[in-house]
Structure 1
């Protein structure tokens, strides 16, 4: 006969729902990659690049996922305190769904998962996600702007404009108080509650915004450097084009025009970014660039799969230690 405590305990399916989603996503993605490219052809391509190089790139990319998880951990301190492994697991599932689903529809999984796993209200989670995506886009545009500044002949005006853009999140955040003070008296009932929910998802103070911004810069800075290094090893030249390709690919991943798994759009972003910053357009050079862009995209996919599998293993170890 079951006790009241056993009756109140969630079923195994509910307790392991996130792990089941992660496992299903990994299997679906592995099958998708095999269908589109074939794992055999991927192995041949990566043998030419060097397995050590591929492993290093994937390992460095996976390490940036911990930075992204820490940004969430710091952003939701009350809800996630002492639960970093669970949050890392959630972040990897969200990342994989975001890459897999078209038109950024995977983003909707974040507030839903945060509500399910950490009891974060939907508006709070959605508002926080919007802030983080704006910081992501700002960091990428700032990195791209730096490339334009370095390539320009007249330096003073471009540098001033770039610096103004770089610090733009600070005055934008400081305007929050006056804007809310003007809005609140005009709203009543449900609209006022919606506004409160949105505000609840914004950084609590300037220090919190700066920590989130710093984590964003470290994350994207590391990713762009790794991508540029990998593209250079795959024959993309000159150096400016490798950074252009890295930025182009990542910009395609944060903008709404995103095919399922980024097929076509991610590689096109790499090619467009590389050419815009000096990659030669001869036939041989474009063939090299096209092949490198596809391989880079595959490394992104495999790093997402690896990160999700790692988070799944860490989360199950945590469960075992907790006796759940």
Structure 2
């Protein structure tokens, strides 16, 4: 009986994901008011699109550096390999509904770093916790409409993360061990301060790209100040992190942009269309980068030789 090789199955799955992304673009393009979108696209100077593309690509480099730092205790990998992992994981998170593509992270790090399921899942939880804390901190800075109770709830994890040092967290976890089993998930002894800075840099660059494009696109339609554009971009990124959306966060992203912009309801459709154009641009760049990286590396990425693991300093 004919047997399909695992490598062929993985390659077919990648092609299926790319086909799904292409279908998504075609479907969205048919649903939009194309003359307005084309006019908006032409109104943005090419150097702005080029600068936005380069800046958006830099966010993946920061995330790749963060991934290398996250797992350097286990194995040293090249920046190129880390970038491949980040781009594949991001594509899975974009294309799968309800952020189920996040499960691609433990699968990839188990392949690349030979990590166990508990190690990979704990790493994913920690990275997402860092992202949530950073976005919460930015929400306090750029969204001044939050009530005091909401601001306090957002500020609490920020204070815990920034003020509690590693040694105090370790003592707290050891004291709770055996009493609060799930508390151990919050302990991540391999974290370094630069991880927070890399997460902050990633989100600041992404927000800057979206805010700039919204400003340029809507400069003749809506009086959207810099504060409002930054808040709107932040709202879109926060909405995209919530596990309540379909593939590529279409719909929920645009809703988050409008909610955080502070604009009245009658201006929501115009802002939503501009946000959708920016959203599709960022989505296209992300998937294109993943396609280019997959084309360059090819099957060699999946045949990466296993190296001898380094000793975990925390467990010794």
Both structures adopt the same fold (TM-score exceeding 0.5): yes
Query: What is the match of residue 181 of structure 1?
Result: 174
Instruction: Name the CA shift for 1:304/1:19 in 2 (closer, same or farther; >3 Å).
Output: farther
Query: What is the match of residue 213 of structure 2?
Result: 230
| TM-score normalised over the length of structure 2 | 0.78
User: Following the alignment from structure 2 to structure 1, what is the Cα–Cα distance between the partners of residues 157 and 11?
Assistant: 40
Answer yes or no: is the 8 Å Cα contact 1:62–1:306 preserved in 2: no
Is 2:192 aligned against 1:212? no
User: Following the alignment from structure 1 to structure 2, what is the Cα–Cα distance between the partners of residues 16 and 75?
Assistant: 30
Instruction: Please list, as runs of the form range in 1=range in 2, the aligned pairs for 1:259-298 lying within 5 A after superposition.
Output: 259-275=246-262, 279=263, 281=264, 283=266, 285-298=267-280
Answer yes or no: is the 8 Å Cα contact 1:21–1:93 preserved in 2: no
User: Following the alignment from structure 1 to structure 2, what is the Cα–Cα distance between the partners of residues 267 and 132?
Assistant: 24
Query: Matched residue of 2:244: which SS?
Result: coil
User: Following the alignment from structure 1 to structure 2, what is the Cα–Cα distance between the partners of residues 253 and 70?
Assistant: 22
Query: What is the match of residue 18 of structure 2?
Result: 26
User: Following the alignment from structure 2 to structure 1, what is the Cα–Cα distance between the partners of residues 131 and 124?
Assistant: 10
Query: Matched residue of 1:37: which SS?
Result: helix
Query: What is the match of residue 291 of structure 2?
Result: 309
User: Following the alignment from structure 2 to structure 1, what is the Cα–Cα distance between the partners of residues 282 and 268?
Assistant: 21
| TM-score normalised over the length of structure 1 | 0.76
Mark the runs of 5 or more structure 2 residues left unpaired by the alignment: 305-316
Answer yes or no: is the 8 Å Cα contact 1:61–1:223 preserved in 2: yes
Displacement of 1:102:
1.6
- Please report the RMSD computed on the Cα atoms of aligned residues, expressed in angstroms: 3.6
Instruction: Name the CA shift for 1:178/1:268 in 2 (closer, same or farther; >3 Å).
Output: same
Query: What is the match of residue 125 of structure 2?
Result: 130
Instruction: Name the CA shift for 1:160/1:110 in 2 (closer, same or farther; >3 Å).
Output: closer
Answer yes or no: is the 8 Å Cα contact 2:59–2:206 preserved in 1: yes
Query: Matched residue of 2:188: which SS?
Result: coil
User: Following the alignment from structure 1 to structure 2, what is the Cα–Cα distance between the partners of residues 76 and 24?
Assistant: 29
Answer yes or no: is the 8 Å Cα contact 2:60–2:87 preserved in 1: yes
Mark the runs of 5 or more structure 1 residues left unpaired by the alignment: 1-10, 153-158
Larger helix proportion, structure 1 or 2?
1
